[in-house]
Amino acid sequence: MLLHLLCIRGHTTLSFFARYTPADTARTRPGAARILRNAVFGTSFAAVTACAQSPTNIFDPAGTPARSAFGLSMLVLSITLVIFLIVAGLLLYALIRFRHRETDSNREPAQIYGSNQIELSWTVIPILIVVTLFLTTTRVILVTEAIPKPASAMDVTVIGHQFWWEYSYPKLGVVTANELHVPISEPESPTPTYLTMSSADVSHSFWVPRLAGKMDLIPNRVNTMWIDPHETGLYLGQCAQYCGTQHAKMLLRVYAQSPQDFAAWIEQQSKPAQQNFPGNPAATEGQAVFMKNACINCHTVKGSVATGRFGPDLTHLATRDTIASGPVPNTPENLRKWIEDPNSLKPGSLMPAMHLNDHDLDVITAYLSQLH
């Protein structure tokens, strides 16, 4: 068993200097090592995944950074499992074999004070394990953090706020909030998304486990990371750095779309907001109420007088599936409840209750529900 593992480590260290690109996935590695690794670790891995199906399982990677972390995880888990079995086995054996028995004589056992050879051996062997682990880890750090950014990459700026996410696509002129849309990245023609991250207030952390490990968003500092979902779908996650009262409900939603769907989404999102609502007097009135209230101090509705930056951009609010940064489905009822008192859905939210009357609440909800 140990010999097999040494073989794997040998292989991975040898390929240490191999050049990797974002499109290079664990799939391109020789299959034998992976099969063996899965066999070694299969049982406990199965135990973890069988007890719970989770959309945020780090052992179910769907992008390159998550996949290379997963590969490393399996190697580390295998090595530690073997160490555990050996050491715990020896301990258990010693505890049973050398327990005091009733039939024992009263003499003390032989006193042994130590042995330099033995000390040396259990110093050198761990050092060898550490060196191999270190080299393998370094390789994965480099293929994730130090690879050149491909020309086909897309840029998104992510700004963390208490307690929501602001996304802007600087080259595409789109600003949105809480629901990140990215194109999928095919291994043949990689289109990874590079996230340039900072924070408007306190530290946050971007963690979508199936796509990549986390990266902190720290005020007065710019961090970067990249994701490249291989399949279309919705990837969930949430803020992973304690950021205040509603840290728990600062959820992440990443929509990975086919290139066509993504292009259509971008085109739709780059339009200014709808300004006229013929045949919908409620929405028209709601628009007027919205523009007359303090809403516009914090929210932007592109093409209107509302240019606030403190809260999420609402230009295309109705196209989002959720409000309140993820935890609440975007339905007119929830929207109305949210505007009436955000604390009822998300206690500690920084949006104040505006104390609007029922009529104003109805019409503003009607207006916002039309912002497709």
| Of 53 and 357, CB closest to other proteins | 53
208 or 314: CB nearest other proteins:
208
Interface positions, 194-253, toward other proteins (CB under 8 A): 201-203, 205, 207, 209, 212-216, 218-221, 223-224, 236-248
Instruction: At 365, list the tokens.
Output: 């909800």
- Minimum CB separation of residue 229 from other proteins in Å reads 16
CB of 16 to other proteins, least distance (A): 13
In the window 78-137, what residues touch other proteins (CB under 8 A)? 79-80, 83-84, 87-88, 90-91, 94-95, 98-101, 104, 108-115, 118-119, 122-123, 126-127, 130, 133-134, 136-137
Q: Which two tokens stand for residue 130?
A: 């550490």
Judged by CB under 8 A, the chain residues 24 through 53 that form the site for other proteins are 48, 51-53
**369 contacts 273 by C-beta, under 8 angstroms:** no
Candidates 73-81, 257-265, 287-295, 354-362 — which segment interacts with other proteins by CB under 8 A?
73-81
Pairwise CA distance, residues 125 & 79, whole Å: 13
Residue 354's alpha-carbon distances to 335, 341, 357, in angstroms, are: 14, 8, 9
Between 127 and 264, name the residue whose CB sits nearer to other proteins.
Answer: 127
351 touches other proteins by CB under 8 A: no
141 binds other proteins (CB under 8 A): yes
* Residue 145 touches other proteins, criterion: CB under 8 A: yes
Q: What is the CA radius of gyration of the chain?
A: 27
Identify the residue among 187, 308, 348, 356 touching other proteins (CB under 8 A): 348
Closer Cβ to other proteins, 146 or 305, answer by number: 146
Closest CA to 262 of 363, 332, 185: 185
Q: Does the protein bind other proteins through residue 283 (CB under 8 A)?
A: no
Size of the site for other proteins (CB under 8 A): 93
CB of 45 to other proteins, least distance (A): 10
| Cβ 2 to other proteins shortest distance, Å | 15
Nearest to 330 by CA among 348, 316, 350, 310: 316
CA nearest 323: which of 308, 344, 311, 338? Answer: 338
Query: Site residues for other proteins, window 309-338 (CB under 8 A)?
Result: 327
Euclidean distance between CA atoms 368 and 372, whole angstroms: 9
Q: 48 or 356, CB closer to other proteins?
A: 48
Q: How far apart are CA 200 and CA 159, in angstroms?
A: 6
CB of 33 to other proteins, least distance (A): 17
Sign for the pseudo-dihedral over CA of 118, 124, 128, 130: positive
What are the CA-CA distances from residue 174 to residues 81, 166, 181, 268, 346 (Å)? 48, 11, 11, 9, 27
Q: Which residue has the tokens 């032989």?
A: 110
Calculate ∠ Cα 295-350-255, nearest 5°.
85
62 scored as a contact of other proteins (CB under 8 A)? no
Least distance to other proteins from the beta carbon of 350, Å? Answer: 11
The residue among 207 and 338 lying less far from other proteins, judged by its C-beta, is 207
